[in-house]
Amino acid sequence: MSWPDESDGNRLYPVLPLRDTSLFPKASLTVVVVRPGVLRALDVAVRTGNILLALSQRDPDTPMPGPKDFNVVGTLAHVASAETRPSGEHHLDLDGLARARVIEILGVDTLVAETQFLEEGGAEEEWGPAVEALARYLHSHSQLRSFLEGQRRSSEPLSWVNLACQHLPITASARQKLLESNARERCLKISRGLDALLRKEQTL
């Protein structure tokens, strides 16, 4: 699947609101959708290439978020599968593709965002230390390690770091800051932050 670069200009994508989490590029996420407006956004995505913008809410307790209730950086996602359960819930499997910055959100109930593609850049020399810090942390958290291994669907090296960013026991605001960072900055923050988190946990 090819992706636009900055020369392609801005594009419109339906918005999938996320509460208390963020989707990262090269990571996967399963979400449950029940709100009619979000289901209509999903229908738009299915009819226009199975791509939507996964965007986290500033306040997860806002029941019907409007255009001003979202963070400005989210992740373009491919709808890998959509299943409707007997309860009426729609379970979506999403694969994160690329970060995007919101220029403007349009709509009231069903939301569409004008987005600008964000380059990830290279992790360069920061990737190795980030993976080493992650390995040290997961050595003490075997359940999290097993969970991440089961969730990983991309073979790209950075996917392991991004998937960890998505599921580490950190605040939603800290997770969003990681998403707003490019690949190099994200790896640097992970390599520093995970060791600090591990030391804190070991002293409790």
Task: Give SS3 for 10.
Answer: coil
Instruction: Determine which helix (DSSP H) or strand (DSSP E) holds 80, and give its type and residue range.
Output: strand 73-84
Same domain, 106 and 60: yes
174 in Cβ contact with 194 (< 8 Å): no
- The CB density around residue 84, as the number of other CB atoms within 10 Å, is 11
Residues 86 and 182 occupy one common structural domain? no
pLDDT at 31: 92
Note the pTM of the prediction, 2 decimals: 0.88
22 and 38 inside one domain? yes
Structure tokens at 175: 């997770």
Q: Tell me the per-residue pLDDT of 167-190, one tens digit each, with 9 for 90 and over.
A: 888 899 999 999 999 999 999 999
**Do 180 and 73 meet the contact criterion of CB atoms below 8 Å apart?**
yes
Please tell me the total count of domains within the chain: 2
Same domain for 98 and 187? no
The answer to whether residue 169 is domain-embedded is yes
Same domain, 74 and 139: no
Domain boundary among 117, 137, 168: 117
Q: What is the DSSP string of 91-157?
A: EEEEEEEEEEEEEEEE-SSS-EEEEEE------GGGHHHHHHHHHHHHHT-HHHHHHHHHH----ST
Q: Do 88 and 169 reside in the same domain of the chain?
A: no
Which among 117, 143, 158 is the end of a domain?
117
What is the structure's pLDDT at 196?
A: 86
Task: Say whether both 33 and 82 belong to one domain.
Answer: yes
> pLDDT value at position 59?
92
Closest CA relative to residue 24, chosen from 79, 85, 88, 73: 73
CATH of the domain at 106: 2.30.130.40
Output the pLDDT for position 8: 61
Q: Is residue 3 part of a domain?
A: no
Q: Which of 117, 145, 167 is the last residue of a domain?
A: 117
Strand-pairing partners, residue 113, are 13, 105
In a shared domain, residues 135 and 108: no
For residues 109 and 48, state if they share a domain: yes
Q: Does 1 map to a domain?
A: no
Domain that residue 32 falls in: 8-117
| pLDDT in the model for residue 198 | 85
- For 152, the token pair is 């990983």
104 with 129, same domain: the answer is no
Contact 120, 99 (CB under 8 A): yes
Statement to judge: residues 112 and 128 lie in one domain: no
Query: Do 154 and 84 belong together in one domain?
Result: no
For residue 136, being part of any structural domain is answered with yes
Note whether residue 111 is domain-resident: yes
Burial label, 145 (beta-carbon count in 10 A; 0-12, 13-18, 19+) = middle
Give the C-alpha separation, 67 to 114, whole Å.
Answer: 11
Low-confidence ranges of the chain (pLDDT < 50): 1-7
Q: Which tokens go with 108?
A: 């009231």
